C-alpha cells in the first residue's frame, strides 16, 4: 500500500512537472538540443518530483485512505495499538510514529513518512478484526521495520534516478520524432513542432509506467527485509502466521 501511494503520487507530480517543463521549452527558457543542460534540468525536475512525493506521502495517505489518527485512544484496542507501535519503535530505534486506523474490510496496513522520526503507521479495521493480537503485533513490527530501514527514502532516491532518465529520454525521443516529421529541417531553437510535444507527453507516460514497474520490483526485496524485521521484533512464528 505504501509503495502504491508513493508511486501514484510520484506519477501525478512528475506529469505535472513534465507539463511545466514543456511550458518552459515552449517559452524558450529551456532550448532543445542542448543535451548537457537538458540532463541537468531533468535531474532537478526528476529528483524534485520524487522528493515532493515523499514530503506529501503522509498527507496523501491520510486523505486517500481516510485514516483517523489516534491522538487520544477511545478504547482499549486503540490504546493497545498505540502502545504496541511505541514498543516496536523504541526497540527499532526510531521516533514515535503517528498511529491511525482506516475503514476497509481487507486486512492491510502501511507505513509512510518522509523520515524515520516523522512516520505514520496505519492499519485497516479488517486487519484488526481478522487477526489475533500477536499477529497484528507482527504486522506492526513489519511496518515499523519499513520506517527503521529507511525504505521510503531509499525508494525516493531510486524513483528520482528513474524520473531523471524518463524526462531526459522522453525528450530525446520527441526530438527524433519531430525531426522525422519535419523532414530533418532545423527548427528555431527552443521551439519544437506539435509532434515533439505530443511525443514527449506520450513517451513520458509510457516510460514512467515502466519506471514504476522497476520500483515495484525493487519493493519486493524491501518487503522481505521488513518481514525479517517484523519477525525480529515479535517472533518468526507470529510473523509467518500474519503472512
Which residue, chain included where needed, has cell 491511525?
A: 100
Across the chain, how many H-helices and E-strands are there?
8, 4
CA–CA dist 215, 228 (Å, integer):
20
8 A C-beta contact, residue 10 and residue 163: yes
Q: What is the largest CA-CA distance in the chain?
A: 73
3-state secondary structure of 94: coil
3-state secondary structure of 150: coil
Q: What is the DSSP letter of 30?
A: S
Q: What is the DSSP letter of 70?
A: -
Grid cell at residue 151: 525504505
Q: Is 143 a catalytic residue?
A: yes
Question: What is the dihedral angle through the alpha carbons of 17, 20, 25, 28, rounded to the nearest 10 degrees?
Answer: -140
Q: What is the DSSP letter of 108?
A: -
CA–CA dist 101, 78 (Å, integer):
9
Q: Which of 134, 143, 188, 238 is catalytic?
A: 143
CA–CA dist 231, 243 (Å, integer):
11
CA–CA dist 147, 149 (Å, integer):
5
3-state secondary structure of 235: coil
Catalytic residues: 143
Amino acid at each position: 500500500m505504501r509503495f502504491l501511494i508513493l508511486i501514484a503520487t510520484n506519477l501525478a507530480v512528475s506529469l505535472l512537472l513534465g507539463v511545466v517543463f514543456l511550458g518552459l521549452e515552449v517559452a524558450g527558457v529551456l532550448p532543445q538540443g542542448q543535451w548537457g543542460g537538458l540532463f541537468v534540468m531533468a535531474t532537478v525536475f526528476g529528483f524534485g518530483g520524487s522528493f515532493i512525493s515523499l514530503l506529501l506521502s503522509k498527507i496523501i495517505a491520510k486523505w486517500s485512505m481516510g485514516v483517523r489518527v489516534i491522538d487520544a485512544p477511545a478504547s482499549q484496542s486503540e490504546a493497545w495499538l498505540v502502545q504496541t507501535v511505541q514498543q516496536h519503535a523504541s526497540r527499532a530505534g526510531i521516533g514515535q510514529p503517528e498511529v491511525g486506523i482506516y475503514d476497509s474490510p481487507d486486512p492491510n496496513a502501511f507505513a509512510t513518512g518522509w523520515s524515520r522520526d516523522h512516520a505514520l503507521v496505519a492499519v485497516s479495521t479488517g486487519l484488526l478484526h481478522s487477526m489475533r493480537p500477536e499477529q497484528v503485533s507482527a504486522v506492526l513490527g513489519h511496518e515499523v521495520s519499513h520506517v527503521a530501514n529507511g525504505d521510503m527514502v531509499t525508494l525516493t532516491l531510486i524513483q528520482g534516478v528513474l524520473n531523471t532518465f524518463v524526462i531526459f529520454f522522453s525528450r530525446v525521443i520527441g526530438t527524433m520524432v519531430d525531426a522525422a516529421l519535419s523532414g530533418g529541417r532545423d527548427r528555431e531553437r527552443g521551439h519544437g513542432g506539435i509532434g515533439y510535444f505530443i511525443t514527449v507527453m506520450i513517451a513520458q507516460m509510457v516510460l514512467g509506467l515502466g519506471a514504476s514497474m522497476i520500483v515495484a520490483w525493487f519493493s519486493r526485496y524491501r518487503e522481505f527485509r521488513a518481514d525479517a524485521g517484523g519477525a525480529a521484533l515479535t517472533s518468526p512464528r507470529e510473523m509467518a502466521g500474519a503472512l
